Amino acid sequence: MAPSRPDTNAATGSVTMWPPGTVLLEDFSSSSLSNEIILQPRPSEDPNDPLNWTKWRKYLNFAIICIYSAMVSEFTSSATPTWGPMQRELGFTDAQLNNSYAIGCAFLGIGAVLLIPFALKFGRRPLYLFSTVVQFLVAIWSAKQTTYADLMLINVVQCAFGALAEVMVQMTVTDVFFVHQRGRLNSIYIWIWSIAAPLGSILAGRIALSSGWRWVWWGNVIFIGAFILVVAFLYEETKFCPTSTTTGTDSTPTQEPHPTTAALDKKTSDEVKKYGLSRVDTKASGAASERGQPTHLYTVKINPDITKKTYWQKLSLVSRASSDQDLASFLRHMYQPFILLATIPAVAYTALVYGILVALNDVMSTTTATYMKEPPYNFNSAQIGLMSLPRIIGVTIGCVIGGPLSDWLVIFLSRRNKGVYEPEVRLWCFCLFVPLVPAGTILAGFGLNDGLAWPLVALGIVLYNVGVAPINSVALTYLTDSYENVIGDALVGVTVVRNTFSTAFIFALTPWIEKIGITYVFVTILLLAIVILGFFGVLLRWGKAFRVHCAPIYQYYAARQYKERGHE
């Protein structure tokens, strides 16, 4: 994979080298094909290529991974409503319960580091299936637990394998869908992941009261057991390893062309210096365009000589070429995420955005549970649980607006840029949603502190989540579009930082509030959040320059990925 992607101009026949993430979505130099979307990444001629799947196959696959993420989110959040009755029956202390939750958060990060290399090497399907079976066994273990050792080990195993949902879903979306579709799909994923947690807590609380806390886990056993069958017989592998006869549908070379001095005019030379661009004249392509022959920018040509997989071949647990590279190459994927985190600004920014928003959410959840059981609110446990509904409403509104808006901006602003898509255009969505985060935090946090009416507090929670959901979705999609060929490693780094924030705040939040008061805790975290979120302006201005600067690093680690599309 070259550090910058070649795209062919249909009229001039030139090949323009762009930094990672920059692609041609529309070719305005070809009048007959104007205003049509160019499929990026380019599908191959193989009918088995996930990019060439029919819509129903793509959306069935996506629905399954969304259910998987909801299962993990619900499982993780269902524990806390069982603590009261479990504590009375088994005698666990508050410290032991808090420690079990903290170690679970820690292993949400550690699990991604240990397990994602298997998904990169062997494919997504075996990891989805195996981790679902593990969750099923852990649910049985949870229903039968009796000791503190059970409690701790259950959280370790469940969260370690649950970490896959925070990374592998994004990898799967990248495998199956095109650039101009990912914003909407990532919003759907964020929405499902976000609402599954509060809904799981509400449902678990009701079951614990009516049937006993062990039935929370027996209910999970029934659901996950049925879902194992869905994954086993309906989920198809999305890791695509091209065969030796498979070629792309475009006519661009697979290796970076070498620009000649004659081909570079003064403007182009300036672009090379400023953005890392280069051009080379490809007369054959230009001649084909002049003769009216298709350039394959807008169409997908399927090779009839390549045999479609049978149903049982689609359900194979081992991908072709999944065993190339040695053990050292496999282990390299356990430390590469940290190198990308430290060297690529987009990875670090996404990680910090996720981390600080988790911190804010922890503070809001803690203060809501603490303050609303006291005057002037005097809420009981059920009423406090219903305060999850504003979160669900806010996340839903944010995702309904944010995903389509993000994809619309991709098309609209790319057309204004002569059909060229830059990943930074998605970040314009932040202008709408970032202000809602401090507005909602101030209304909810200070409203609780000052005893304002509970509808105002609920409104603050709604506003906060309307902002948070699209921010998370856009940040993830920006990272995916910019560094597609190392997205597995990059998202592992993001997950580690996110869960480090979560773990640290679980331990530090209570003594911090006791020391300086909830108001100053809110102010401190909110100011930090504003600084981190505000960095999107830097990426809007210099994000492309950062991608040019990081292109050699990206090229180096993309070339060391397992054989898939773009890694050949």
Going from the N-terminus, what domains does the chain have, and what CATH number goes with each?
1-16+26-39+255-318 (no CATH), 53-239+332-558 (1.20.1250.20)
Average pLDDT over the chain reads: 82
Residues 333/116, Cβ–Cβ less than 8 Å: yes
CA distances from 65 to 60, 127, 485, 539, 568 (A): 9, 12, 20, 31, 27
pLDDT greater than 70 at residue 338 = yes
> Over pLDDT 90: what percentage of the chain?
42
Residue 317 pLDDT level (bands cut at 50, 70, 90): confident
> Over pLDDT 70: what percentage of the chain?
82
Give residue 203's region: left, alpha or beta (phi > 0; psi -120 to 50): alpha
Question: Which residue has tokens 């852990």?
Answer: 138
Encoded amino acid at 34, one letter: S
Q: Choose the most confident range, by mean pLDDT, from 3-17, 181-195, 231-245, 284-298.
A: 181-195
Burial of 255 (0-12, 13-18, 19+ CB in 10 A): exposed
pLDDT greater than 90 at residue 449 = no
Residue 42 pLDDT level (bands cut at 50, 70, 90): confident
Q: Which of 331, 238, 119, 303 is nearest to 565 (CA)?
A: 238
pLDDT digits (tens, 9 = 90+) for 463-487: 999 999 999 999 999 999 999 989 9
Supply the Cα-derived Rg of the chain in whole angstroms: 25
Q: Choose the most confident range, by mean pLDDT, from 189-193, 224-228, 484-488, 555-559.
A: 224-228
Which of 507 and 443 is assigned the larger pLDDT?
443
Q: At what angle do helices 94-122 and 148-162 cross, to 10 degrees?
A: 30
Residue 30 pLDDT level (bands cut at 50, 70, 90): low
Residue 244 pLDDT level (bands cut at 50, 70, 90): low
Which of 123 and 256 is assigned the larger pLDDT?
123
Q: Choose the most confident range, by mean pLDDT, from 31-40, 95-104, 327-336, 539-548.
A: 539-548
Q: How many CB atoms lie within 10 A of CB 453?
A: 11
Mean pLDDT, residues 169-185 taken together: 88
Residue 298 has a pLDDT of 56
Residues 6+ apart with CB under 8 A from 538: none
Residues 132/126, Cβ–Cβ less than 8 Å: no
Q: How many CA atoms lie within 13 A of 98 on its CB side?
A: 12
Q: How many CB atoms lie within 10 A of CB 290?
A: 11
Residue 16 has a pLDDT of 52
pLDDT greater than 90 at residue 159 = yes
Which of 537 and 508 is assigned the larger pLDDT?
537
DSSP 233-254: HHPPP------TT--BSS---S
Residue 549 has a pLDDT of 93
pLDDT greater than 50 at residue 272 = no
Mean pLDDT, residues 369-391 taken together: 82
pLDDT digits (tens, 9 = 90+) for 294-310: 344 556 677 788 888 88
Mean pLDDT, residues 313-339 taken together: 78
Mean pLDDT, residues 330-345 taken together: 92
CA pair distance 478, 540, nearest whole angstrom: 11
Residue 351 has a pLDDT of 94
Which of 34 and 61 is assigned the larger pLDDT?
61
Residue 170 has a pLDDT of 86
pLDDT greater than 50 at residue 10 = no
CA pair distance 176, 239, nearest whole angstrom: 9
Residue 396, both tokens: 């839903």
CA pair distance 319, 522, nearest whole angstrom: 49
Residue 279 has a pLDDT of 36
CA distances from 199 to 191, 222, 355 (A): 12, 18, 22
Which of 127 and 519 is assigned the larger pLDDT?
127
CA pair distance 140, 15, nearest whole angstrom: 58
